[in-house]
Chains A and B, each alone.
Chain A
Amino acid sequence: MTLTRTTRRTFLTSTAAMAAAGLFPGGVGMLRAQEGRVLNLRLEGDNSILDPGYMVGGTEVEAQKQCLPFLAEYVRDGDTFSWQPTAYVTRLEYVDDTHIEFELAEGLVWSGGHGTLKASDVAYSYKRMKDSEWSGYFDALETVEVTGERTGTLVLNKPFAPFIMVTLCHGPGAIVCEAATEAAGGRFTTEFPAICGPYTYSATPGQRAVFERNPEWTGPAPGFDRVVCHVITEVQAAELAYEAGEIDCTELGPDSLARYSKQMPENTTITTAGQLQYMWMGMNTQHPKLQDIKVRQAIQHAVDVDSILAGAFAGTSTKSHGIVCPGLLGARSQTSYSYDPAKARALLDEAGVSGLELTLRTLNWQERLLTAQIIQANLAAVGITVNILPMESGPFWEMGMEEAGDTWQDLELWIMRYATVPDPYESTQWFVSEQVGIWNWERWTDPEFDRLYDEGLSETDEAKREEIYLRMQQIMEDTGAYVWINHEPEVYAHKTDIEVVAAPSGELNYHRFKPL
């Protein structure tokens, strides 16, 4: 090897050139002109599967709402949620308990020359969903009868009151283009085979998804010309980006919500999408230490939920009185037990229990651990020693499942949170008898509860439905196996000159955003 100055220089020059080339993976080009009103938002992660039948959920639903037709959409009426027909239909109504007729709007076209939106697309989409990974949402659907080019009837196999709210308004209710989807092989992932909506869609993985006005869209114009959704995985990073003025709207965690409530950043306001999450402390009714209902009732009376809301959630969440979330039919406003340490001690004495030691399992998240510590202190005050067992999500989510091992036998106390949809039936389904050993980790059964669950599905009278769900929650509470904790809200901070529209479960609907 000959060492010469020229060679080294050449080497250094080449290295510098390669480094410079690697520096700008996107290449060098001209900045694209950004005309019109641009909305900058956060995207939790890349949209991996846009296909409604095989999606992961979450942000993919947000993309579907901008680019695919839906028959119904959520509408907020004060603190409650209901539905309304979308701009894609001129008629959507129940004609009887099992028939929903629809008429599609005229002149809505699919991109790529795939023609107009037809009733046959609706039939194709929903038949396809019945065979998909999201088929559970379509259990109640028997078939879609096409009665004309733009008209049809959704035929249910039994009366199912929440069908429109739960299925048609949500992601699984998206309609795909039959011709384009079949041409794409029957399934799609990161690109829509055809769109029919206010926005077009493009994405740069790991960076952003961009929605731009669809020139072929003849429906109501969206409020913004361009929506840029930046991939920001961590909610805290998104909050910083919002405060730096780089995004116009972001979800807030409990700590930030408390901080914002005390000192709102300039030109900022808060919108609460919904509170469709319910957290409770569960007790295994079959565990030898907790078999006596008096012990369980003592624990119910010993936990100071108000302290948990203040200490672990900075007062940003709503106190829970059951599994039906605020704003939904059947939401309760009180419980039959209250924080009363003296009564708790008396119940323990009646049960003849002293020196009780229990294990409380929880996910190792900050708010959950704080909640566990407050419960630990509360129970210590009545003579119950609690050992907290923080867990990773993997073992946590299968600890009550019989098929996943024997941990369910050792379960004593745990802190659990479920998310739900804007109808009470979804929350109750996890506690029927057949769910024991699956998701009913409290392991109680009640024939009345099971019967009421079936009745609630088919009952269309709202007053009767409400009675059903109130009674079901009372049955749950009477087992003594639940200490209701809270409903955490989905909260967004955004600029005051923007009106934000979000589904009750938190998905943003960009085309309904309005500049103020």
Chain B
Amino acid sequence: MLNYLLKRLGLAALVVMAVLLLLFSMLHMIPGNPAILALGTRATPEAIAAYSERMHLDEPVLTQFIFFLGNAVQGDLGNDVFSNRPVTAVIGERIGFTLALICTGMGWAVLLGVPLGCLAAVRPGTWIDRITGVFSVGMIAVPSFLVSIWALLLFSLHLRWLPAIGAGEPGDLSDQLSHLILPAFAIGLGWVGYLARMVRASMLEVMGEPYIRSARAFGLKPRRIVLGYALRVAILPTITLIGMGFGGLISSAVFAEIIFSRPGVGKMIFDAVSDRNFPIVQGGVLVATGFYILVVLFSDLLIAWLDPRVRASL
């Protein structure tokens, strides 16, 4: 298990490096002088030169990359081009909002999607199964940015039940919660469908297994068979899906954060790309990539922990 963990961590480090190298190359392939784009079209030559020197734009890309990696290892992701604040501090102010959004979005999707999948699986072919199927596919088909806009128009503009913008008054729990509902609903809705379909498919497969038949033959209650035996096995591929899903939710969070003007890492990266604020882009992508890799690693370890067959194969 320890060897497995070390191998995965090593692989994770390589993935992070590859992503950063790709990012560096892409940022520098974008046409236009980044100094002019950052400082405005009327920037003086002196300001442009100072910016280029401060950003190491006059160095080769590989040198810039090595320079960045060396500092990143020491926990220094550079400084914001404009405010000169440490990138780690800027990210630190926003990461909590993104984590809250992603966890809440995935949280409610799991709470609704898994029971829906179970319900559809134990009543295959019935109207419950069909309705669940139609709704699941519908939820998957609608992109989260569209859900965000519809939810905002309906619940904020017309009904005025929920706030439209921001993350709530700092220190006010109920206000923060009310600001979280719509964006979390928007990014989680598609995942309700995904999870319901996934759990249904896994459950149908597991429900046909001999040990489930044996359990029934022993006269165990259906509820115990479903929750105690079938779901325990059927949930394993769903855990992998949830782990992968966190990566997708980071992308969805970008739209939700923009549409609901909510602070977060996604919006921060989006704004930084527009402003050519390279240190923020690099730091933000590094953190997002690291987060995604950690979640996937965590889900793999969880599966190994829950499934003795996987554990034995390590």
Find chain A residues with CB under 8 A from B261 CB.
230-234, 237-238, 241
The residue that B164 contacts in the complex, of A32, A244, A395, with Cβ under 8 A, is A244
Find chain B residues with CB under 8 A from A215 CB.
none
* A452 interface residue (CB < 8 Å to B): no
Find chain A residues with CB under 8 A from B166 CB.
207-208, 230, 246
Considering the chains assembled together, what is the distance between the CA atoms of A141 and B77 in angstroms? Answer: 41
Find chain A residues with CB under 8 A from B264 CB.
206
Given known contacts A31-B171, A233-B261, is B164 in contact with A394 (CB within 8 Å)? no
* B168 interface residue (CB < 8 Å to A): yes
Considering the chains assembled together, what is the distance between the CA atoms of A27 and B169 in angstroms? Answer: 10
Find chain B residues with CB under 8 A from A22 CB.
96, 99-100, 103
Considering the chains assembled together, what is the distance between the CA atoms of A32 and B169 in angstroms? Answer: 8
* B61 interface residue (CB < 8 Å to A): no
The residue that B41 contacts in the complex, of A48, A207, A397, with Cβ under 8 A, is A397
Question: What is the chain A residue whose CB lies nearest that of B45?
Answer: A403
**A23→B80 contact, CB < 8 A:** no
**Interface hub of B160, B164, B258 (most chain A Cβ within 10 A):** B164
The residue that A394 contacts in the complex, of B31, B39, B175, with Cβ under 8 A, is B31
* B259 interface residue (CB < 8 Å to A): yes
Q: Using a Cβ–Cβ cut-off of 8 Å, how many residues does chain B contribute to the interface with A? A: 61
Considering the chains assembled together, what is the distance between the CA atoms of A398 and B153 in angstroms? Answer: 40
**B171→A244 contact, CB < 8 A:** no
**B104→A23 contact, CB < 8 A:** yes
**A136→B44 contact, CB < 8 A:** yes
Question: What is the chain A residue whose CB lies nearest that of B31?
Answer: A395
* A6 interface residue (CB < 8 Å to B): no
Given known contacts A29-B172, A231-B263, is B96 in contact with A19 (CB within 8 Å)? no
- Give min CB distance, B245 to chain A, whole Å: 15
Given known contacts A27-B171, A240-B157, is B258 in contact with A234 (CB within 8 Å)? yes
* A346 interface residue (CB < 8 Å to B): no
Find chain B residues with CB under 8 A from A233 CB.
258, 261, 267, 271
Interface residue ranges of B22-65 to A (CB < 8 Å): 30-33, 36-37, 39-41, 43-44, 46-47
- Scoring A residues 437 to 472 as 1 if CB is less than 8 Å from chain B, else 0, what string do you get? 000000000000000000000000000000000000
Find chain B residues with CB under 8 A from A232 CB.
165, 261
**B263→A207 contact, CB < 8 A:** yes
Given known contacts A24-B173, A31-B172, is B94 in contact with A56 (CB within 8 Å)? no
* B240 interface residue (CB < 8 Å to A): no
* A355 interface residue (CB < 8 Å to B): no
* B84 interface residue (CB < 8 Å to A): yes
Considering the chains assembled together, what is the distance between the CA atoms of A246 and B179 in angstroms? Answer: 12
- Give min CB distance, A261 to chain B, whole Å: 20
- Scoring B residues 167 to 185 as 1 if CB is less than 8 Å from chain A, else 0, what string do you get? 1111111011000100000
Considering the chains assembled together, what is the distance between the CA atoms of A232 and B261 in angstroms? Answer: 5
* B306 interface residue (CB < 8 Å to A): yes
- Scoring A residues 15 to 55 as 1 if CB is less than 8 Å from chain B, else 0, what string do you get? 00001001111111111100000000000011011000000
* B163 interface residue (CB < 8 Å to A): yes
**A205→B93 contact, CB < 8 A:** yes
Considering the chains assembled together, what is the distance between the CA atoms of A395 and B33 in angstroms? Answer: 8
Considering the chains assembled together, what is the distance between the CA atoms of A136 and B97 in angstroms? Answer: 41
The residue that B152 contacts in the complex, of A1, A27, A204, A240, with Cβ under 8 A, is A240
* B67 interface residue (CB < 8 Å to A): no
Given known contacts A24-B100, A231-B261, A246-B165, is B271 in contact with A393 (CB within 8 Å)? no
The residue that B30 contacts in the complex, of A25, A206, A394, A396, with Cβ under 8 A, is A394
**A237→B165 contact, CB < 8 A:** yes
The residue that A57 contacts in the complex, of B40, B46, B85, B90, with Cβ under 8 A, is B40
Given known contacts A28-B171, A189-B83, A397-B32, is B164 in contact with A56 (CB within 8 Å)? no
Question: What is the chain A residue whose CB lies nearest that of B34?
Answer: A394
Question: What is the chain A residue whose CB lies nearest that of B94?
Answer: A206
Find chain B residues with CB under 8 A from A56 CB.
39-40, 82
Interface residue ranges of A109-141 to B (CB < 8 Å): 133, 135-136
Question: What is the chain B residue whose CB lies nearest that of A29?
Answer: B171
* A190 interface residue (CB < 8 Å to B): yes
Interface residue ranges of B144-201 to A (CB < 8 Å): 152-153, 156-157, 160, 163-173, 175-176, 180
A–B pairs, 30, beta carbons within 8 Å: A3-B306, A19-B103, A23-B176, A25-B97, A26-B170, A27-B170, A29-B173, A45-B271, A133-B46, A204-B93, A204-B170, A205-B94, A206-B94, A206-B263, A207-B167, A208-B166, A230-B261, A233-B261, A233-B271, A234-B259, A234-B261, A237-B261, A240-B152, A241-B164, A241-B261, A244-B152, A245-B160, A247-B165, A397-B32, A398-B33
Which positions in B face A, CB cutoff 8 Å? 1, 30-33, 36-37, 39-41, 43-44, 46-47, 80, 82-85, 90, 93-94, 96-97, 99-100, 103-104, 107, 152-153, 156-157, 160, 163-173, 175-176, 180, 258-261, 263-264, 267-268, 271, 305-306, 308, 311
Which positions in A face B, CB cutoff 8 Å? 1, 3, 19, 22-32, 45-46, 48-49, 56-57, 133, 135-136, 189-190, 204-208, 230-234, 237-238, 240-241, 243-247, 392-398, 404
